[in-house]
Amino acid sequence: MAILFAFFPVLFFLGCLFLLDSFKLVRVRWLLLCLLWGLGATVLAYFLNTWLAERFHLDFGVLSRYVAPVTEELLKAIIVWLLVSRRQAGFMIDAAIYGFAVGTGFALAENAWYFLQMGEDFDVLLSIVRGFGTAVMHGGTAAVFGMILIEGAQRSTSMISATLIGLVSAAGIHSMFNHFMVNPLLQTFLIMVTLPAVFYLVFMATTSHLQKWLEVAFSSEVDMLRMIRKGQLRDSKAGNYLASLREHFAPEVLVDMYCYFGLYLELSIKAKRNLLLRESGFPVIQEPDIKNKLTELKTLRKNIGKAGEMALLPLVRMRQRELWELNQLENQ
């Protein structure tokens, strides 16, 4: 019975987070990969922490309070950083869930190791503290790193800066937890009360923002694409802006920029359409020519060069969210 308290809470919490993802942003294969990475990170952390303790003659208190939080959060963060940098996560929701999945895998392996080492001494009280407290903390800190990292990426903050801020925040929370400034049971209770509330508020705010972004962007992009196809773009502000670029770019580059803008709108609309379909519970529409169009978009982006891309920034902002959005089309 004791072992159930060590494993069930964090798995249940992860399941709840997954169900909160109404837009189905999280890919099951990446979720499973994060769980597996968390399991492996526990083994790596054990050997790394053991080596550091022996190399620098660290006692258990220093190791658990100041060293382990840094090494463990760093190892957990690697897979989350890769997912964000490769545009497999685009919003706080999916970044937080992937992060919590890593922490879940880490906590499950760590609790299993404690159970095997302690045997009958691993009683119900310890199981509750580790299952409801330590395990959820491991998931929470990795989720915090993911949310800070994705927020930095969306704001075009340097990935180095966002990574450092995320790691310091995650390691700081982890270190505070390991100091046990209050009674372990009280600390566990506080985690179980505050963390779900924080996640719920963040998820609701992010979902609301996502819905507004989809509605506004979808409508404006549809109108813009309609004007392009009807030859009415020149009468709009976007058309006037494109016309003003004639003095700065060669005619062939301007043609590529115009094609790039139109193709981007088409693909962006289709990506948002599929998001809305998933949110409503309908299957996404898969089109056989999507990959060819994405390849064409990349070719056009290369042809117009960095100068052309910068000139189109008022119309086409290829930041984290937009790149993630197009990446979703490629993965479907």
User: Above pLDDT 90, what percent of the chain?
Assistant: 55
Highest mean pLDDT among 115-124, 148-157, 218-227, 254-263: 254-263
pLDDT band at 163 (very low <50, low <70, confident <90, very high): very high
Nearest to 21 by CA among 271, 198, 204: 204
Q: For the chain, how far is it from start to end, CA to CA, in angstroms?
A: 42
Looking at the structure, tell me whether residues 131 and 29 fall in a common domain. yes
pLDDT band at 280 (very low <50, low <70, confident <90, very high): confident
Cα–Cα distance for residue pair 332/329, rounded to 1 Å: 5
The pLDDT of 187-203, averaged and rounded, is 87
In sequence order, what are the residues at sequence separation of 6 or more whose Cβ sits closer than 8 angstroms to the Cβ of residue 216?
Answer: none
pLDDT the model gives residue 249: 92
In 57-91, where does DSSP find H-type helix?
Answer: 60-62, 68-85
Higher pLDDT, 67 or 331: 67
User: Which amino acid, one-letter code, is at 190?
Assistant: L
Is 101 inside a domain boundary?
yes
pLDDT the model gives residue 94: 92
Domain that holds residue 266: 231-331
Higher pLDDT, 228 or 105: 105
Domain count, the chain: 2
Looking at the structure, tell me whether residues 236 and 183 fall in a common domain. no
pLDDT the model gives residue 332: 65
pLDDT the model gives residue 1: 65
Looking at the structure, tell me whether residues 105 and 200 fall in a common domain. yes
Higher pLDDT, 317 or 66: 66
Is 221 inside a domain boundary?
no
Cα–Cα distance for residue pair 237/243, rounded to 1 Å: 10
Predicted confidence (pLDDT) at residue 215 exceeds the cutoff of 80:
no
pTM: 0.88
Predicted confidence (pLDDT) at residue 46 exceeds the cutoff of 70:
yes
User: Which amino acid, one-letter code, is at 35?
Assistant: L
Is 220 inside a domain boundary?
no
Looking at the structure, tell me whether residues 143 and 238 fall in a common domain. no
Cα–Cα distance for residue pair 27/30, rounded to 1 Å: 5
